[in-house]
Structure 1
Amino acid sequence: MNAKVRLGEFLQTRRSQLRPKDLGIPGYGERRRVPGLRREELASLAGVSVSYYTRLEQGQSLNASPQVLDAIAAALRLEETERLHLHNLARSSATGAGRGRRPAPERVTEATGQLLEALGHVPAIVTGRRSDVLAWNRLGHALFAGHLDPGAPDRPAERPNMARLVFLDAHTRDLYADWPAKARAVVGNLRLVAGRHPDDTALHTLVGELSAKSSDFASMWADHRVTACAVATYEMRHPLIGALTVTQQTLSQGQGQGQGQGQGQEQNIVIATTEADSPARTTLALLDQVTPQHDPTRPGVRAGSG
């Protein structure tokens, strides 16, 4: 799908999700053929002509200014993350996506490896741009994917992918009491990444695979929601230690940070924390006790592994 189509679909979907009465637009008792706002209503709210907005939705206008995009974002009641996503889509539509190239294997930087090692008693994993697991510490593996080979992230061709696990892996699906909330967060984050990297062929392949194999994913992807996964609280149901409530925090290391290895990559460190003196803190400590220490003969977290 090209950038113009992605921009048009995003605008159309978000426009259809707005209710005129919520925006003070009188309905006069008329019956609408389609849900949401009409193009002329959205254009009026944004202060642009109907013909201009129509061309933008149809991919025929490639020079939308930042001010116009901000006005449209305000009319659509977009949150900040969604507004930035709109700008990314418009920029890609205007410039055209570059030729897709085979991505190089992502690597864990030395600094990230040191941080992961320092978080020895906190479940933590490192994910790449497309949610591939690049590394995890002992508790991160035990909490999120204890049924998988702990050495899998060391082998690029076998790395687990958190999006695949959430939608296609029964163990991971059962981990979350409110699985739909976790699933929507995963999809929203992938949408955000796709807007920033329209020429990422590996990401498009992943989206195509998940759309074909999971009707849940296909439905959520069509909703065009974007989400920056920063902090979220989930009730987990772990097969070894039972129920616990954790706060999952994502520490993002943006593109271009650092020097040398890993430069120009996007990596996230996802950690799971619990409230002090809570039952969940005790339960997590139990997981720490029952999880075997890493075999020293196995490869661990290595700087630049992969």
Structure 2
Amino acid sequence: MPSELGDFLKGRRAALRPEDVGLAAYGERRRVPGLRREELCMLAGVSVTHYTRLEQGRTNSASPDLLNAIARALRLNEDESAHLRNLASPPPAVRPAPSRPEQASPSARQLISAMADVPALVLDRRNDVLAWNSLGHALLAGHLEFGCVKVSAQRPNLTRLLFLDEHFQDLYVNWAEEATLAVASLRLIAGRHPDDRRLAELVGQLTMQSHAFAERWNRHPVRTCTSGAKRMHHPSVGRMELAFETLQIPGSPGQRIIAYSAEPASGSEAALRLLASTVADAAQDGRTRDGSRNPEAARRR
């Protein structure tokens, strides 16, 4: 992905001032923000010609030593350095055949169904929801039908919902932070899988339909997000702060389980219990709150 690599390098150069890396600017008027190529190459100890060819996408050969030197000079963190290496990797000689729609394994579905008091869902690497339990559905997307995750063409995508669905946007107290984090995570995945057609289509759709997404995407943020906290305002039970943890599913093409929990004896735990009680009440006749049939809930009657 030469253009992606060039944009990433130029963006990181522009973000560094000479004084940030110990270079004297002498008050000179600079035509471009940040470091010049020559300054970066001096810091990294690399050839200006070689670096320029790399930034302009005119070479597919970048040694690990060269990339590590550039990463150090640009002060990239671990995620950004990994992203740089992914972008600089030569493209595959043969494009893979279109992948079949992914499915959550029976064992993964069984596991999250058994977690009745914990909101949980199974995601693929693109953030498509492959499965969720009743409480996970009620927490994140009770306005959608429970069974929509079973049809690949109807599956919700958490990143798409975050930028294009008002109900989902209103769920997050700090939406702007969540949006930036979501884009940074998606950037990292896109760098790892440059030939993922469905992922490229998702990025294209969001770029065209959401100015907020396009603006963040063009900044090239990169970050891994496997745990943390979500500040939410649920339409039924109010404010909650929930911790989340991610479990990668071995042997799958990037699938993972995400589960949410609340601090014991906190207001957030009380709110989560209230939501679970609401789900249990709806399960008495085997139906979700929006009226659609929920087989998982029916089994627990």
TM score, norm. by length of structure 1: 0.90
Q: C-alpha displacement at 1:41, in angstroms? A: 1.1
Q: How many Å separate the matches in 2 of 1:211 and 1:108? A: 28
Would you say how many aligned residue pairs link Structure 1 and Structure 2? 289
Q: C-alpha displacement at 1:249, in angstroms? A: 2.1
Q: Map of 1:60-139 to 2, 5 A cutoff?
A: 60-91=58-89, 94-96=90-92, 98-99=94-95, 101-139=97-135
Match of 2:283 among 293, 296, 300: 293
Q: How many Å separate the matches in 2 of 1:12 and 1:217? A: 20
Q: C-alpha displacement at 1:128, in angstroms? A: 0.8
Q: C-alpha displacement at 1:100, in angstroms? A: 5.7
Match of 2:188 among 186, 192, 213: 192
Q: Are positions 1:280 and 2:276 aligned together?
A: no
Match of 1:19 among 11, 17, 28: 17
Q: C-alpha displacement at 1:299, in angstroms? A: 4.3
2:211 is matched by which residue type in structure 1?
S
Question: Is contact 1:103–1:202 with CA below 8 Å preserved after alignment?
Answer: no
Q: Which runs of 5+ in 1 are unaligned?
A: 302-306
Q: Map of 1:1-306 to 2, 5 A cutoff?
A: 3-91=1-89, 94-96=90-92, 98-99=94-95, 101-253=97-249, 257-258=250-251, 263=252, 265-291=253-279, 292-293=282-283, 295=286, 298-300=294-296
Question: Is contact 2:146–2:294 with CA below 8 Å preserved after alignment?
Answer: no
1:11-45 superposed Cα distances (whole Å, 9 cap, x missing partner): 11111111222211111001211111111111111
Q: How many Å separate the matches in 2 of 1:148 and 1:42? A: 50
**Secondary structure of the equivalent of 2:8?**
helix
Q: How many Å separate the matches in 1 of 2:93 and 2:275? A: 46
1:198 is matched by which residue type in structure 2?
P
TM score, norm. by length of structure 2: 0.91
**Secondary structure of the equivalent of 1:151?**
helix
Bigger RCO of structures 1 and 2 (CA < 8 A, at least 6 apart): 1
**Secondary structure of the equivalent of 1:251?**
strand
Give the alignment's Cα RMSD to 1 decimal: 1.7
Question: Is contact 1:154–1:299 with CA below 8 Å preserved after alignment?
Answer: no
Q: C-alpha displacement at 1:269, in angstroms? A: 1.2
Q: How many Å separate the matches in 2 of 1:248 and 1:41? A: 42
1:19 is matched by which residue type in structure 2?
R
